[in-house]
């Protein structure tokens, strides 16, 4: 076999490479296949929204942030939001009503409830429009809820020394220190639950007036 003939021949691998390189770009095939798989894995924006609602109620702002984090485009997000609003799957007014009831059941004060609603994206104007919900819960009802929470907190604290009759000056001084610590714990807890300082002082006065 002549050298010229051997030079003219190509192996099967060479022919395969020529065919592939001449007609198909393998990198493009791989990238296209990868993109198609990603599209199949990525949920429809409405499907993603409904799944997000399955865990708990959401505000409009919470849902909007969720869809944006999923990197849907604005048109897709708007269509999904429109669907959810029209069918009342998203309803900020109803959300506020339910959250107020939930907050009260957990012993939270109105200040904290308002703050948490703001954190969840409820507009301040909407809170003002729904102010009647909070007015119905204002004093004396709010103050009595604070007192009830204070009693629960006190029941869980150990303060026997503070309630016994001191026999001398040193015991009286120690009792005073312990009592102040107990009052501080109750006050801080009530403040954390969103009660006003007026309500907290009222509770402390009621709980410790005999001491």
CATH number at residue 58: 1.10.10
Q: Where are the alpha helices (DSSP H) in the chain?
A: 3-8, 12-23, 26-41, 45-55, 60-69, 74-86, 92-105, 110-119, 124-129, 131-135, 141-155, 160-163, 169-192, 197-208
Report the distance separating Cα 165 and Cα 178, nearest Å: 13
Contact 45, 76 (CB under 8 A): yes
Report the distance separating Cα 189 and Cα 106, nearest Å: 13
- pLDDT at position 104, please? 83
Domain extent, residue 46, equals 37-90
User: Which of 74, 90, 106 is the endpoint of a domain?
Assistant: 90
- pLDDT at position 17, please? 45
- pLDDT at position 20, please? 43
Q: Which residues, in sequence order, are CB contacts of 185 under 8 Å at separation 6+? A: 153, 157
6 within a domain of the structure (yes/no):
no
- pLDDT at position 49, please? 94
Domain count, the chain: 3
Same domain membership, residue 150 and residue 207: yes
Same domain membership, residue 112 and residue 60: no
Same domain membership, residue 98 and residue 52: no
- pLDDT at position 139, please? 58
- pLDDT at position 81, please? 96
The residue behind tokens 């007192």 is 147
- pLDDT at position 18, please? 43
Is residue 209 exposed (0-12), middle (13-18) or buried (19+ Cβ within 10 Å)? exposed
pTM of the shown model:
0.60
181 within a domain of the structure (yes/no):
yes
196 within a domain of the structure (yes/no):
yes
Query: What are the 10-residue block averages of pLDDT along the chain, 211 residues in total?
Result: 50 46 56 55 84 93 95 95 95 92 85 91 88 68 87 78 62 80 91 90 84 46
């Amino acid at each position: 076999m002549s050298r010229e003939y051997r030079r003219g021949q190509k192996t099967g691998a060479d022919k395969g490479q020529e065919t592939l390189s001449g007609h198909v770009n393998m990198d493009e095939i791989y990238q296209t296949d990868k993109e198609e798989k990603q599209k199949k894995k990525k949920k429809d924006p409405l499907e993603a929204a409904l799944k997000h609602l399955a865990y708990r109620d959401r505000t409009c702002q919470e849902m909007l942030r969720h869809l944006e984090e999923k990197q849907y485009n604005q048109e897709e997000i708007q269509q999904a939001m429109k669907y959810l609003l029209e069918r009342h799957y998203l309803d900020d007014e109803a959300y506020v009503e339910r959250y107020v009831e939930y907050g009260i059941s957990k012993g939270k004060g109105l200040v904290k409830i308002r703050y948490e609603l703001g954190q969840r994206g409820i507009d301040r104007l909407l809170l003002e429009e729904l102010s009647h919900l909070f007015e119905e819960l204002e004093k004396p009802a709010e103050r009595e809820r604070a007192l009830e929470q204070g009693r629960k907190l006190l029941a869980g604290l150990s303060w026997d020394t503070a309630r016994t009759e001191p026999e001398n000056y040193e015991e009286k001084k120690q009792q005073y220190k312990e009592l102040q610590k107990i009052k501080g714990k109750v006050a801080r807890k009530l403040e954390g639950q969103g009660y006003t300082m007026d309500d907290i002082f009222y509770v402390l006065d009621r709980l410790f007036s005999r001491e």
